Amino acid sequence: MPGQADHQAHFDEVIARHDRIEPRDWMPDAYRRTLVRQIAQHAHSEIIGMQPEGNWISRAPSLRRKAILLAKVQDEAGHGLYLYSAAETLGVSRDDLVAMLLSGKQKYSSIFNYPTLSYADVGTIGWLVDGAAICNQVPLCRTSYGPYGRAMIRICKEESFHQRQGYELLMTMMRGTPEQRDMVQESVNRFWWPSLMMFGPPDESSPNTERSMAWGIKRNSNDDLRQKFVDMTVPQAQALGVSLPDPSLTWNADRGQHDFGQPDWDELFAVIRGDGPCNTQRLAHRRRAHEDGAWVREAASAFAAQEEPGHG
Ligand code: FAQ
């Protein structure tokens, strides 16, 4: 019978060769806890993330825009479900995770605590928020935990569509009237800094990054991914004809990367603590939806429990 030291040595060896840990494998408790925390937070973000855009479904400006937006918001629900399933392989139940979201014990992404004030926000969320999500999630396809990495592969494919639809919507508006162009710029001004905050606090104030990178859960640090996002987004902003609201944003030829200003980190910590513009509203809406859906869960459980005639 292998002992604790053998298990640890095997785990370390799998991590060192960048291979996958699977649900049946031994893993350190702290690795399991970190994964549950990150995957649950990610799942909750997808579910809460349906609200800001869902707000505009009934007011989409055309049938085509409505069909695209409906498909996108439904995709977010699907992402939440793949991620809850991935978390369940670690021995936690979805009911418990949902309860922790609703009680505020587990977090979800700060970005979804900002309001959507115009239809341009649908485009900006697709372009910037899904753009940031892709930057953060493509490396997670190579995360060390198998079920999480496999869920990310499918999610990233769908996020690419989300990003493209947002960019295409903004491009259409930028070719429209001066009022439409102003709407896009105003929306980008509001979402730029919160999008940079999605990558988490700066590396020196990120308590989890070092450990999570050593375990291969995260493949890049928060600051590295933020930089990548800025470098990717600047030429897209130029193509769109919008300006990014950061006077320090300049190309640094020596580094081969852009220099840029720092977001207001106090704002990020306040939003994470629950003091963002829409935290109360988002959780209240989610609680209401959960209560309203109780009968569906009961009916589904009763259906699953009953023996199908002829198949007993
Ligand atoms: N918001 O030590 P770190 C989407 C927390 S994309 C809220 O750096 P870590 C798609 C952090 O959890 C959005 N909390 O932590 C979509 C930690 O909490 P603790 C979701 C944040 O984990 C698009 C503490 O602060 N994406 O949903 C944030 O190493 C459009 C210290 O931070 C993911 O979840 C924040 N921004 O790095 C849907 C991606 N940043 O320890 C709809 C997977 C940090 O107190 C529409 N997650 N915190 O529990 C990750 O990559 C990582 O968890 C980070 C944070 C990078 C978010």
Is ligand 1 within 6 A of the CB of residue 199? yes
Q: Give residue 154 CA to ligand 1 midpoint distance, Å.
A: 19
Q: Is 35 exposed, middle or buried (0-12, 13-18, 19+ CB in 10 A)?
A: buried
The band of 309, judged by pLDDT with boundaries at 50, 70 and 90, is: low
170-195: per-residue pLDDT in tens?
999 999 999 999 999 999 999 999 99
Site to substitute for ligand 1 among 31, 37, 41, most atoms within 8 A of C-beta = 41
Residue 133 has pLDDT above 60, yes or no: yes
Most distant CA atoms of the chain, gap in Å: 73
- The pLDDT, as a whole number, for residue 312 is 47
User: Could you tell which of 206, 219, 265 is best to mutate to test the pocket of ligand 1, judged by most ligand atoms within 8 Å of the CB?
Assistant: 206
Question: From the CB of residue 144, how many other CB atoms can be counted at a distance below 10 Å?
Answer: 22
Helices vs. strands in the chain: H and E counts, helices first: 14, 2
DSSP H or E segment with residue 251: strand 250-252
